[in-house]
Amino acid sequence: MAKKLGPGKCVHCLKDVEERNSDHVFPESWYPDSTPLDLEKWQIPSCISCNEAYGRLEQDFLVRVGLCLDPHDPASKSIVEKAVRSLKPAAARNARDAQHRLGKGKRILAQALHGDKIPDHGVFLGLDDRWADIPSERTAILIPKQSFERITEKIVRGIFYIEDGIFIEPPYIIDFFASAEDDNSPWQQALERWGKVYERPPGIVVRRAVAEDRVSSIFEMTFWKQFKTYAAVSR
- Of 50 and 62, nearer to Zn ion (C-beta) is 50
Give residue 78's Cα distance to chain centre: 16
Q: Which pairs count as long-range contacts for 202-207, CB under 8 Å and 24+ apart, including other chains? A: 202/32, 202/34, 202/35, 202/74, 202/75, 203/26, 203/30, 203/31, 203/32, 203/35, 203/75, 204/26, 204/30, 204/155, 206/155, 206/159
Query: For Zn ion, which residue of 25, 44, 47, 75 counts as binding (CB under 5 A)?
Result: 47
For every residue of 175-211, DSSP letters joined together read EEES---STTSHHHHHHHHH-EEEEETTTEEEEEEE-
Q: Does residue 168 bind Zn ion (CB under 5 A)?
A: no
Residue 7, SS3? Answer: coil
Q: Which of 44, 50, 87, 221 binds Zn ion (CB under 5 A)?
A: 50
Closer to Zn ion by Cβ: residue 51 or 222:
51
Among 7, 13, 169, 173, binds Zn ion (CB under 5 A): 13
Q: How far is the CB of 150 from Zn ion (least distance, A)?
A: 12
12 binds Zn ion (CB under 5 A): yes
Q: How far is the CB of 60 from Zn ion (least distance, A)?
A: 19
Shortest spacing between CB 25 and Zn ion, in angstroms:
14
The β-bridge partners of 175 are 232
- 10 touches Zn ion by CB under 5 A: yes
Whichever of 47 and 168 has its CB closer to Zn ion, that residue is 47
Enumerate binding residues for Zn ion (CB under 5 A): 10, 12-13, 47, 50
